[in-house]
Amino acid sequence: MIGVGLLSLKQWNTSTAPPECHSPACLRAAGRFLTAADPFSSPCDYFLFTCGSPGAARGRQRGKSISRHSNSREGESLQRRRARGTKTERMNDTLDENLPDRQTLLLQSIRETLETSEALDSLEGKALRFYRSCMDTDTIESQGPEPFLKLVQQLGGWPALGEWNETDLNSTLALLMGQYGTFPFFSVYVGRDPNQKNDTPYIQIDQPDFQIPTQWDDQSQTSKTQFSVRAFLSSSNQFLTLLGVLFPSREMHKSLYTALASELATKSSPLHHRHQANMLYQRVTIRELQTLAPVIDWLGCLEATFHPLPITESHTVLVHNLPYIIHMSQTISKWLLRNKMMGRDPIQTYMILSLLYTLLPALDSRFRETQRNFSVALGNVEEEEPRWKHCVKQTEEGFDRLLSHMVRDRTAHTEAGALVANLYSSFQKKLSDLTWRDKEFRNSVLKRVKSLTPQFMPVTDTDRLAQLYSQVVISEDSYFSNYLQSLLLQRQRRTQLYSQSLQPDIMSISPVLSGNDIIFPSGMFVPPLFHPTYPRALNYGALGFMMAKDLLHLLLPDFHTQSSSPESVGACVWSKYISLTEGRGRVGAFVLSPHQKLEVWVQYTALQVALQAYQNSLQHNDSDSALMGLFHTHLFFASFTQISCDPYPYPQLMTFEPSFLVSVICATSDLCPSRMTCQGTPLLASVDGC
């Protein structure tokens, strides 16, 4: 049940309405409340509204089977509303437009930062110019393939175009890996070893992301490419045509490229197979790797990838598919010998086309359309994302630390710190009040949670930022050259990851653990979930609930195995939902699984934690503003219902819309602004709560 302390909120709810918030952010938020369903003023309409999420998880439409008979005007109005089902469906269809997912909200906030700033001459101006050059599609279209072809000439040419300096395999490969973020034959990244308790970063080597799709054959334990060869040949032919490769050279290089890709891919294998075969995280030194796969100059290529860090042959790397790495070396050696006397080098073609795939985002729309058509031919139907979203993501790839600094400047306010402090305090209090099966385990969890220090994601200081971006030259009229600069910045990121255990991630939208700290990324604190000028009720009802939900998932992922609370609370809330929507006789018609009950408990508990945190904030400072005439808990719950459709991170486990939880809380407490009734009857009887 809701703690007794929450009832003290009533003194604020019954007081005179505080002054309205008229900040620009509040005016934008007010526009959303004009079209939102209010659970207190229109509870019948409210229970006709659904999140409209796809899938069977939303098995019942709220209010669909409520059968309360009344001759009142309210009952007639309800019947008319039910008759207009298409109107409800239209409202569902526009939900995603009204409140996108958290990741999109963050991208929109970054977009606003990039499009409203005029500081083109400052350090931030480099990120602004990069974004604007990406948005300038007219210039990109007019340049066509010429920027890429000039780069190919700088790399020594290409036999398919008639000019080639017969550059060495490893010199070209090191250049592609070091300067252009291209890994044709194997992938390289940095990460920790999960088999170790520390956070030591390791260079990790894996099979590449093959452009030619493969199909795993359990019987032969190999990957086959026959099912997709025709589509792959077609897309390769189109790319070669766009690059100006003439027939019959185009036919020859297309066929050789496809044959080499198919042969390399045969030893690739899906992650589940490699996990079962204990092929992941195999520790070898660079010296040992050179012996196992001698065609690659491993030391030279890794030095180029992590320049200027010192790399030696004694360094340990983690390999995730050693049989593929050995096969790759043998295959390249065979193809080099086979084609050396024939005046054509499919290895060079393979590397050039791998570079093309890396640089596709910087080329004109014909290249992207070719790639999209190939994806569709394989059955992948994805809606093309808006250009602004694509450009924000591309800007983040190279300018992540700079954008982190810019976003932090917009969100680094005392209000954010107070929200985190109050919420974490409420979270700890809630954990101590829970029923645990094992007292020793309870004490260890509480001790761990108490030892964690809430922190904001660290950002790079301005002097360090100036040093990182000092050599970067960005113009507004050449997105291709800007994109090449971005690839060099991404190499810096890999280098930083290898030398440091934690790097700020601007795209983070949920708390993460780092040693004895729990990090709250700046990307969480964006409108309409949070703004320093919002009424606190708005911030706590929206972002406060989401943060509490994230903390429960992060710190108590399997709580249903340690406590009976998820079982009892989940079953209780579900029974009230079934009782309301299908009638009291149908309570046992459908039983939730343990994981579904856990998610119901998480959502219900998160709402309690956020509400308690809001009370704590009022106890420290009893002044809060109003929005659209709503204030205190009325505004808190209205804010919660607007974001309760948030799908992150387990939408498939919720069988009803989380905003239903408002009625469960309001059925047993007097902290709500009014009793929730439909046709004169309480939605839920005022009996024991959950």
Taking only the tens place, the pLDDT of each residue in 108-157 is: 999 998 998 777 778 889 999 999 999 999 999 999 999 999 999 999 99
DSSP 282: E
Average pLDDT over residues 522-533: 92
70 falls in which pLDDT band (50, 70, 90)? Answer: very low
How many other C-beta atoms can be found within 10 angstroms of the C-beta atom of residue 457?
22
Whole-angstrom distance, CA of residue 51 vs CA of residue 41: 19
Q: According to the model, what pLDDT value does residue 379 have?
A: 85
Whole-angstrom distance, CA of residue 19 vs CA of residue 22: 9
Whole-angstrom distance, CA of residue 387 vs CA of residue 134: 9
Residue of 205, 233, 215, 185 whose CA lies nearest to 335: 185
How many other C-beta atoms can be found within 10 angstroms of the C-beta atom of residue 5?
13
Q: According to the model, what pLDDT value does residue 616 have?
A: 93
Q: According to the model, what pLDDT value does residue 8 have?
A: 45
511 falls in which pLDDT band (50, 70, 90)? Answer: very high
Residue of 414, 356, 326, 346 whose CA lies nearest to 182: 356
Please provide the average confidence, as pLDDT, over all residues in the chain: 84
The neighbouring-strand residues paired with 204 are 189, 318
Q: Return the higher-pLDDT residue of 228 and 179.
A: 179
DSSP string, 299-320: HHHHHHHTTTS---TT-EEEES
Whole-angstrom distance, CA of residue 466 vs CA of residue 126: 11
Whole-angstrom distance, CA of residue 404 vs CA of residue 503: 11
408 falls in which pLDDT band (50, 70, 90)? Answer: confident
629: left (phi over 0), alpha (psi -120 to 50) or beta: left
| Six-digit token string for 466 | 């100036």
Q: According to the model, what pLDDT value does residue 122 have?
A: 80
Q: What does the pLDDT look like over 3-19, one tens digit per residue?
A: 434 444 444 555 678 99
264 falls in which pLDDT band (50, 70, 90)? Answer: very high
Q: What does the pLDDT look like over 329-374, one tens digit per residue?
A: 999 999 998 876 555 689 999 999 999 999 999 999 999 999 999 9
630 phi and psi angles, rounded to 5 deg: -95, 145
Residue of 278, 228, 267, 264 whose CA lies nearest to 346: 264
Secondary structure of residue 677 in the 3-state scheme = strand
pLDDT higher than threshold 90 for residue 612: yes
Whole-angstrom distance, CA of residue 639 vs CA of residue 344: 65
503: left (phi over 0), alpha (psi -120 to 50) or beta: beta
Q: Which long-range contacts (CB under 8 A, 24 or more apart) does 581-584 make?
A: 581/47, 581/60, 581/62, 581/63, 581/64, 581/65, 581/66, 582/60, 582/65, 583/65, 583/67
515 falls in which pLDDT band (50, 70, 90)? Answer: confident
DSSP string, 562-613: T-SHHHHHHHHHHHHHHHHHH-GGGTTSS---HHHHHHHHHHHHHHHHHHHH
Average pLDDT over residues 25-44: 78
| Six-digit token string for 414 | 């005392």
Residues of the chain above pLDDT 70, percent: 82
pLDDT higher than threshold 90 for residue 265: yes
75 falls in which pLDDT band (50, 70, 90)? Answer: very low
Whole-angstrom distance, CA of residue 643 vs CA of residue 102: 10
Q: According to the model, what pLDDT value does residue 493 have?
A: 85
Residues of the chain above pLDDT 90, percent: 55
Burial class from Cβ neighbours inside 10 Å (0-12, 13-18, 19+) for residue 197 reads: exposed
pLDDT higher than threshold 70 for residue 46: no
Secondary structure of residue 363 in the 3-state scheme = coil
pLDDT higher than threshold 80 for residue 594: yes
Residue with tokens 């108590």: 556
pLDDT higher than threshold 90 for residue 602: yes
Residue of 254, 232, 237 whose CA lies nearest to 378: 232
Domains with residue ranges and CATH for the chain: 4-16+37-99+560-682 (no CATH), 168-362 (1.10.1380.10)
